[in-house]
Amino acid sequence: MIFPKKEKINKSKKKIFYIFRVLFVILVVIGIYILANFIKIFNSEGVKIYEVTTGEIVNVDRHKGFIYRDESIANCQNDGYINYYVANADRVNRGAFIYTINDEPSIIDKFELNNDDKKKIRQNIKMYSNNITNYDFSNIYTAKDSLNSLINEINLVKQLENIDIEKEINAKEKGYSKFAGLISFIIDGYEDGKIEDFTDNMIKKYDSAKVSLQKKRVLSGDQIYKVVKSPEFVIAFDSSYDYDNYQKSYNVFVKFVYENVTTNGHIESFIGNDGVKHFKLYIRDYPERFIDKRVVEFEIENKKITGYKIPIKSIVSKNCYMIPKTMIEKDIETDENIFYKVGVNGVREKFTCNISKEDNNFYYISIDDSLSKLKYGDVLINRYNDTYSLSEVTKLNGVYNMNKGYATFKNIEIIDKTNEYAIIKKQTINGISLYDHICLNASDIKEGDLISS
């Protein structure tokens, strides 16, 4: 017996199942397409935008210089054991009590360091070790001097704790400073030097070996300390940069490289012992930091360049057509730059263009300008029927301006640059302006590309 109704139902089920299979396949394809595009968008950096700002680049000259100070060395009058009552780089007044000399030592030979002493020394070592690199070990000498000063200061404290007051009161010699200033126990033989004797070779041949005047026992006539009488010191140096345009009252910005301090000073020129013009830099700050130094390295800020600041990676070089200014005009209705090109059968074709640069005689249009559709050898014609065949091409530096939503090449004039940024001239005709949006990753896009992020 045949049941047609059942067969009809089975056919309907198969049809519905087939439709579901087709829909499922379509949905899977759509899903894969959406996922693929999502992954593409997610992985793509797109066009990165940079807003043009003002900025500056500071140029500095690095020099090595020779320090001259007003220094006076003191000598003792008796033999004996010496005790000091001041530390290196201490400031003293005229008549300040500096030392005593006795026939017998009044302190123990060796002091034990307590935990506070050890902590100070560790901190000192850590501070300087952070500034030492594989390429420059000069800070080692600075660290050595600083550690010696710290240890001498600790020893002085220990001496004063263990001093025999009665014996010191009746000392055979008591020393008082004849001058106000900074105390130093380091000499190098240049204390009486005059800046007029300076030559460039003095820096190159300077023997950095210094002599410490701090001893346990001294002989009559020994040098025992020196006083730096003025906080101002002068640094003589040779320079290829002409600082004569600096006025004496003009403060230059100075950074001492290894001491990591900055200050102001003023510069004058002078003739050295070699008959050559050199320069001298007057400094009044941080005299205690340099009291035991003779040769120092420093930087002088000589020029500050200001303009628009843009990243180096936003700059691209493009070939541009040079077109006489008589061949391009402004459209009165749209205010666009237009020109006419001789087309097929001599018919004039109208085009718009983006001008990348202009000077007195020419407009410059990128050869990749998507609006102009120019090709080498094209013939342009103006309203006066003058013609010009495209033949002049030049390379320009520029950026992609993104203000219109797509990449337009604009010429820039670089004034100065570093590894990361360039300072470009402000207000160039048909150039970029403050707060314009330019493409940051210029090497990843082409002219005419739309903003995708």
Torsion of CA 37, 41, 44, 49, to 10 degrees: 150
Q: Check residue 145 and give its pLDDT.
A: 53
Mind giving me the DSSP string for 24-93? HHHHHHHHHHHHHHHHHHHH-----EEE-EEEEEEEEEEEEEEEE--EEEEE-SS-EEEEESS-TT-EE-
Residue 214 DSSP label: -
> Which residues, including other chains, have CB under 8 Å from residue 291's CB and lie 6 or more apart?
88, 89, 182, 184, 186, 228
Lowest mean pLDDT among 37-41, 56-60, 181-185: 37-41
Confidence bin at 347 (pLDDT 50/70/90): confident
Q: Check residue 237 and give its pLDDT.
A: 94
Same-domain status, 299 and 392: no
**364 closest CA partner among 318, 302, 427:** 318
pLDDT tens, residue by residue, 236-278? 999 888 887 766 656 789 999 888 899 999 899 999 999 999 9
Please report whether residue 78 resides in a domain.
yes
The CA angle 250-272-262, to the nearest 5 degrees, is 35
Please state the length of the chain: 453
Q: Which two tokens stand for residue 327?
A: 């061949």
pLDDT tens, residue by residue, 277-336? 999 999 999 999 999 999 999 999 877 889 999 999 999 999 999 999 999 999 888 889
pLDDT greater at residue 94 or residue 143 = 94
Report, as an integer, the average pLDDT of 400-420. Answer: 91
Q: Check residue 33 and give its pLDDT.
A: 64
pLDDT greater at residue 37 or residue 374 = 374
3-state secondary structure 112-156: CCCHHHHHHHHHHHHHHHCCCCCCCCCHHHHHHHHHHHHHHHHHH
Same-domain status, 253 and 340: no
- Cβ pair 75, 223 in contact under 8 A: yes
Please report whether residue 283 resides in a domain.
yes
Please report whether residue 437 resides in a domain.
no
Please report whether residue 138 resides in a domain.
yes
Say if residue 101's pLDDT is above 50.
Answer: yes
Please report whether residue 225 resides in a domain.
yes
Q: Check residue 290 and give its pLDDT.
A: 93
Say if residue 58's pLDDT is above 50.
Answer: yes
CA 95/CA 180 separation, integer angstroms: 8
Q: Report the share of the chain in percent with pLDDT over 70.
A: 76
Helix (H, G, I), strand (E, B) or coil at 326: helix
Same-domain status, 132 and 167: yes
Give how many domains the chain has, as a whole number: 3
Range of the domain at 139: 63-306
Q: For 8-35, b where at least 16 C-beta lie within 10 A, e where not — what string?
A: eeeeeeeeeeeeeeeeeeeeeeeeeeee
Please report whether residue 50 resides in a domain.
no
Beta bridge partners of 256: 261, 298
Please report whether residue 452 resides in a domain.
no
- Cβ pair 449, 47 in contact under 8 A: yes
Q: Look over the chain and give the mean of its residue pLDDT values, rounded to a whole number.
A: 82
**430 closest CA partner among 447, 445, 408:** 408
Please report whether residue 53 resides in a domain.
no
pTM: 0.60
> Which residues, including other chains, have CB under 8 Å from residue 364's CB and lie 6 or more apart?
320, 321, 322, 323, 355, 356, 357, 358, 394, 396, 411
Q: Check residue 123 and give its pLDDT.
A: 56
Q: Check residue 280 and give its pLDDT.
A: 93
Residue pointed to by tokens 């008796």: 78
Q: Report the share of the chain in percent with pLDDT over 90.
A: 46
pLDDT tens, residue by residue, 108-161? 444 555 566 555 555 555 554 555 444 444 455 555 555 555 555 555 555 554
